[in-house]
Amino acid sequence: MTITHTADVVIIGGGVAGLSTAMQLAARGASVVVLERERIGNGSTGRAAGLLGQLRGNAEHTRMLIDGVKIVRHLEQQVGVEIFVQTGSLRIAETQERAEEIAALVDMGKSIGFAIDHLQPAEVHRLLPYMRTDDLLGACYCPTDGHVQPAELVSAYLKIGKQLGVRYMTHTPVTALLIEAGRVRGVRAADSEYHAPVVVNAGGPWSYLNAELADAALPTAAIGHYYLTTRPHPDFPVDRLSPAIRDRHLRLYTRPESGGLIVGIYDFEPEVHDMRRLPVDFDMSRMKAARDSLQVAKLLEAAHARFPWIDQRTPMSITTGIMTFTPDGRPFCGKMPDLDGLYHCSGFSGHGIVQSPTIGLIMSQLILDGASSYDCESIEADRYFDMPGYVERRDIERKCRDMAGNYYGKVERPEPAAQAS
């Protein structure tokens, strides 16, 4: 017998994207059900390092992240827990090209009133005595950056969502979309149907499979990612408020963690995962990185180059997980033109934790108002709709993998301030 449930909105996926969207919708009075295949926050969300750098290559994306911090600060007040740790962040340059990139970013940031300034290598050394600085040409410092604690963010979304009446169903994989006369009417999961005029695909790395339930091609790919976490080192203590670092030349990012250091790498040849081959109860938190793998070797080599005290013998753990990349590194938020009622909210390309506060707000506006107060052109879900080269899985995976591989490698050309505002 099929059990039928009804709601205004059904959300597929209990990661930060689905949870934030659910909370914002419920805050405006919508009845919302979140359906999660496994446990809440157990997809990419549970693996994230949580780095939050607000300055992006264009002003609208920067505004989204600045506003995201305000939302997080409000959540902290509501739940009484620290979610955002404001450590500040540095971008460092060891090549002329990178120094020019940083100079352009400082100009762009200042033009929109964002707190950012140049820093001389000597000052960098004073701030970060555990980092090699003798090869640096320059750096910039953003004092209002830091990191979000993903588990605390998930708990806050969940706690407030529950207070607002959101229903969360775990161990409930969605296996079909109910479609009638060109529009979505709900979903099927196990022996139940969830009827709703709006369904949100917030399935993270699985989102392209969810789109296929509607015979649609969502151009995302599931990309492997690695970081290490050192234990506290007696000679190189890392203060909990030490600034995060981005070293795009070495493709590294870092942040403090419990007296040690998280060091992650955007590898130029990342793995692509086929989500269809994973078991239905796949648990991302159980993924183990092989210590003798090429990916770990590259991570250790780059980490050692910047932090010479980190090597094979350093006590550390290695974390691996799966991110969702798109061909241009920007998420997909909104509908496709050929199917009413189905909204996509996916493809956060390594930044879903920090984007989620504002993305939840944007999704609630798109669903309830039909438009957002943010300029969403660059994140519209249909920007590759039916475009040759963005339909076949093989083409999509190649493009997304190239994007992920070049993510830190490419030198950014921030948009000039005149266009950016």
Stretch that binds ligand FAD, among 86-94, 128-136, 266-274, 342-350 (CB under 6 A): 342-350
Which run of H or E residues covers position 279?
A: none
> Residue 23's closest CA among 111, 192, 195, 155?
155
**Residue 401: Cβ within 10 Å count:** 18
Please list the residues that pair with 6 across neighbouring strands.
195
Beta strands in 68-153 (DSSP E): 84-85, 89-93, 117-119, 138-142, 146-148
> Residue 339's closest CA among 210, 228, 157, 220?
210
Residue from 21, 24, 42, 295 binding ligand FAD (CB under 6 A):
42
* Residue bearing tokens 């640096």: 136
Please tell me the distance from the alpha carbon of residue 269 to that of residue 406, in angstroms, as a whole number.
9
> Residue 138's closest CA among 123, 148, 151, 159?
123
DSSP 8-state class, residue 416: P
CA torsion, ordered 407, 412, 417, 421, to nearest 10 deg? -10
Residue from 21, 24, 44, 149 binding ligand FAD (CB under 6 A):
44
Residues 295-324 that bind ligand FAD (CB under 6 A): 319, 321-323
Residue from 10, 30, 32, 49 binding ligand FAD (CB under 6 A):
49
Q: Is 68 in the site for ligand FAD (CB under 6 A)?
A: no
Closer Cβ to ligand FAD, 49 or 69, answer by number: 49
Task: Work out how close the CB of 113 gets to ligand FAD at its nearest, in angstroms, rounded to a whole number.
Answer: 23
Closer Cβ to ligand FAD, 225 or 399, answer by number: 225
Binding-site string for ligand FAD from residue 5 to residue 34, where x marks contact by CB under 6 A and - marks none: -------xxxxxxx----------------
Stretch that binds ligand FAD, among 3-11, 44-52, 155-163, 290-298 (CB under 6 A): 44-52
Task: Work out how close the CB of 122 gets to ligand FAD at its nearest, in angstroms, rounded to a whole number.
Answer: 28
**Residue 76: Cβ within 10 Å count:** 16
Residue from 11, 23, 26, 43 binding ligand FAD (CB under 6 A):
43
Stretch that binds ligand FAD, among 48-56, 121-129, 306-314, 391-399 (CB under 6 A): 48-56
Please tell me the distance from the alpha carbon of residue 110 to that of residue 89, in angstroms, as a whole number.
16
Residue from 57, 121, 173, 197 binding ligand FAD (CB under 6 A):
173
Closer Cβ to ligand FAD, 131 or 404, answer by number: 404
Q: Is 48 in the site for ligand FAD (CB under 6 A)?
A: yes
Residue from 21, 24, 45, 89 binding ligand FAD (CB under 6 A):
45
Task: Work out how close the CB of 235 gets to ligand FAD at its nearest, in angstroms, rounded to a whole number.
Answer: 27
**Is residue 321 within 8 Å of 225, Cβ to Cβ?**
yes
Binding-site string for ligand FAD from residue 123 to residue 152, where x marks contact by CB under 6 A and - marks none: ------------------------------
Closer Cβ to ligand FAD, 136 or 218, answer by number: 218
Closer Cβ to ligand FAD, 205 or 334, answer by number: 205
Q: Is 161 in the site for ligand FAD (CB under 6 A)?
A: no
User: What φ, ψ does residue 365 adopt, rounded to 5°?
Assistant: -70, -45
**Is residue 378 within 8 Å of 222, Cβ to Cβ?**
no
**Is residue 139 within 8 Å of 119, Cβ to Cβ?**
yes
Q: DSSP letters along 14-32, please?
A: -SHHHHHHHHHHHHTT--E
Residues making contact with ligand FAD (CB under 6 A) = 12-18, 35-38, 42-45, 47-51, 173-174, 202-206, 210, 225, 227, 319, 321-323, 346, 348, 350-354
